[in-house]
A and B are shown apart, each in its own frame.
Chain A
């Protein structure tokens, strides 16, 4: 878990400090220096198709990605967990309503949603956030609901209720902590998904517009040059992998941390 935190903080910090750290202007086009190979001065990671410094673009490229991915993951997790818990625990009409909404969202292809959003809203940060999150909380909600259905039948919940504990107490003390491990895994994988989805949205007109750099977009731009100039693909791919690795360590590490606490809790009751 520490590894994860360290990785993310380092990269996040670098992105934040990009204006100070980056050796070149990420937007500066130098047509006489296209496709400079990496590991040479002054462009340590080479240049791209328009002669722009890759290192600088990488430093700036994470700003929107990371912000959006972190925000989206938090939103998706909170909304998904909350609704899933409510549906799973209370059952009845609550489950009916939530499941109806969830299944409706799930039954419609994502592309339709995104395009419809495009038609109705102006491109902007809010639209971007909406586009990323509209469909992603539903899966989480269903998974959460499933786990809660099983958890509420477990011994300690019945015990707590027998002692007269209210619904919210049960939810918070017993059910929620048990959801963390699963949510940790799914959340961290979703985090990576958000980073990559940004590229697809950019090509639809929402999201990062050229010439601003973005990791996932840089990855896609490197497609035609996959065989000729692989460095254009490798560096953004590496950064994204490291970020996802960090998120994953963090997410799954949460399980370890909370598990110990939970164990102690069981011992007490």
Chain B
């Protein structure tokens, strides 16, 4: 009897210990809690989009990405070289990479993807349209030389190919991911650290770490909610329903400042390629005179705008090329009210002139454009320029610009890719699309020559100098007046660790994020 009781007792203890161990193990093995963040739009446009998701979600990876200085950097392509005549580019692919359906990433897959590019181009997207003839101008052939080498042959030299391929230009998916028409047959299968596991349009999407990712594996599952209104994102952060925000216009400067007063929050400042400009109608008086345009530029205190209206979150610009581009040169920022008055007097004499100052109503959701415009209006009044502000609906705004029914238009502009030639062609080249359509009327032979020449210039150093010179010339034209560069304010709850902005890479370290 005695030993029986003892044995019973011993068994009970053993069982309890086992159960206890199991509980402990399961607690340890429990997945990291879901990191919940929010953006103002759905970052997953879906099947009929060329990329399915934004790069920010890290579901797919490109051949070429950007480094924190803005230069093209290796991603799925480890290295590349170009032939002397610039027509043949050879890419060496990274080894040991698996797609999320566990098929290998190799040259064959790359060729299949290029095949797909041909089929879907031109394709629209809320991010960047995909146009094969713009990203890969004159592409003749794409061949797999061996399992990890791909060769791209072009009709004409393309010296800046990697710049054009950055991110959205070279997205790679599993060849089994496509329909006949080239779009997706299901969830995207990329090579990135996250898999898309759930998506409810305009509500949220869920990402889970991909266990066989080739690089630094992701820590936590992520839920990205869609909350269109900035004030609601603010409240959600405060109520700890979300722990961070993402994407352009994550939080307005005013709300961000207010949120940062709360000890629980910190901010990651993410530079974007979006900058604010004044488009000057150079095809009719009074701004057909460069002196008056210069006066406008000199009269505006950009520092004031950034400091007061954007709470210091922004970078003033003296050059037309956003500092997010590695080719941007820091030209001096001028603010000289006296000189501005003098120039205005020279042109206008004692007369006053009335001009139309327009901007689109959609910008009001993200930026304090109304105050900005009213400030500029008050400054221009001192020059003898009476600006009539007109807020126009998006479509009406475009119409007005095309019809030239404005004197000054204020709008933001982003860089479509890392190659500045695109933006120079639009706004600086004499018969550039933007220049002509928006009646900027800027003509400079030297700039024209440089822009066309740079397209074929193989020497990086020389290109840099050419682009620097173009910026100088454009500046003196004062037809497309840069104000300042935007930054995105990614305010986050301090309990969210590992959430960092990656500078000009325009990215956030989602894979390092976890909740405490």
A and B touch in the complex (CB under 8 A): yes
Interface on A for B, CB 8 Å cutoff? 29, 31, 34, 49-50, 115, 118-119, 123, 202-205, 209-211, 221, 223-228
Cross-interface CB contact of A34 among B308, B368, B390, cutoff 8 Å: B308
Closest to A111 in B: B393
Closest to A115 in B: B393
Which of B255, B390, B392, B393 is the most central at the interface, judged by chain A CB atoms within 10 Å of its CB?
B393
- Chain B, Cβ-Cβ closest to A224: B254
- A210-B391, A224-B368 given; A205·B374 CB < 8 A: no
Residue of A nearest to B399 (CB): A119
Known: A29-B374, A211-B374. A119 touches B391 (CB 8 A): no
| Given A29-B374, A210-B377, 7 other A-B residues pairs in contact with their CB atoms under 8 A | A49-B309, A118-B393, A203-B361, A205-B390, A211-B378, A211-B389, A221-B370
Find out whether the CB atom of A204 lies under 8 angstroms from the CB atom of B361. yes
Contact B371 A50 (CB under 8 A): yes
A184–B361 Cα gap in the complex (Å)? 35
Contact B378 A50 (CB under 8 A): yes
CB distance from A245 to the nearest CB of B (A): 27
B361 A211 Cβ-Cβ under 8 A: no
Q: Can you give 18 A-B contacts (C-beta < 8 A)?
A: A31-B308, A34-B308, A50-B371, A115-B393, A118-B393, A118-B396, A123-B390, A204-B392, A205-B361, A205-B391, A205-B392, A209-B388, A209-B391, A210-B374, A210-B377, A211-B377, A224-B255, A225-B254
Asked if B375 and A29 make an inter-chain contact with CB atoms under 8 angstroms apart, the answer reads: yes
Contacts of B393 in A (CB 8 A): 115, 118, 204-205
Q: How many residues of B contact A (CB 8 A)?
A: 27
| Distance in angstroms between the alpha carbons of A228 and B252 in the assembled complex | 13
List 4 A-B pairs, minimum CB-CB distance, nearest first: A29-B378, A224-B254, A210-B389, A205-B392
Closest to B309 in A: A49
Q: Which residue of A has the minimal Cβ distance to B252? A: A224
Which of chain A's residues has its CB closest to B230's CB? A224
B371 touches A227 (CB 8 A): no
Interface residues of B in 393-424 (CB under 8 A from A): 393, 395-396
Question: Is the CB–CB distance between B258 and A228 below 8 Å?
Answer: yes
The distance from the CB of B73 to the nearest CB of chain A, in whole angstroms, is 37
In the bound assembly, the distance between CA atoms of A221 and B374 in angstroms comes to 12
Q: How far is the CB of A158 from chain B (nearest CB, A)?
A: 53
Complex alpha-carbon distance, A118 and B231, angstroms: 29
| Bound Cα distance A221, B389 (Å) | 15
Instruction: Tell me whether B56 is interfacial, beta carbon within 8 Å.
Output: no
The distance in angstroms between the C-alpha atoms of A223 and B254, with both chains bound, is 10
**Shortest CB distance B309–A (Å):** 8
| CB contact list, B223-261 vs A, under 8 A | 231, 252, 254-255, 257-258
A118 to chain B, nearest CB (A): 6
Chain A residues within 8 Å of B231, by CB: 223, 226
Which of these, A31, A209, A211, A227, contacts B390 with CB under 8 Å? A209
Closest A residue to B371 by beta carbon equals A49
**Complex formed: what's the CA distance from A225 to B231 in Å?**
11
CA distance A185 to B370 in the complex (A): 36
Max count, chain A CB within 10 A of own CB: residue among B254, B257, B309, B388: B254
Q: How far is the CB of B235 from chain A (nearest CB, A)?
A: 10
Q: Give, as a whole number of angstroms, the nearest-CB distance from A100 to chain B.
A: 30
Contacts of B370 in A (CB 8 A): 210, 221
Contact yes or no, B254 A205, CB < 8 A? no
Contact with A along B366-390 (1 / 0, CB 8 A): 0010110111011000000000111
User: Are B389 and A209 in touch, CB under 8 angstroms?
Assistant: yes
- Check if B391 sits within 8 Å of A203, measured CB to CB: yes
In the assembly, what is the distance between CA of A210 and CA of B372, in Å?
Answer: 11
Min CB–CB distance A185 → chain B (angstroms)? 32
Chain B residues within 8 Å of A123, by CB: 390
Chain A proximity of B441: nearest CB distance (Å): 25
Contact in complex: B254, A31 (CB < 8 Å): no
The smallest beta-carbon distance between A228 and chain B, in angstroms, is 6
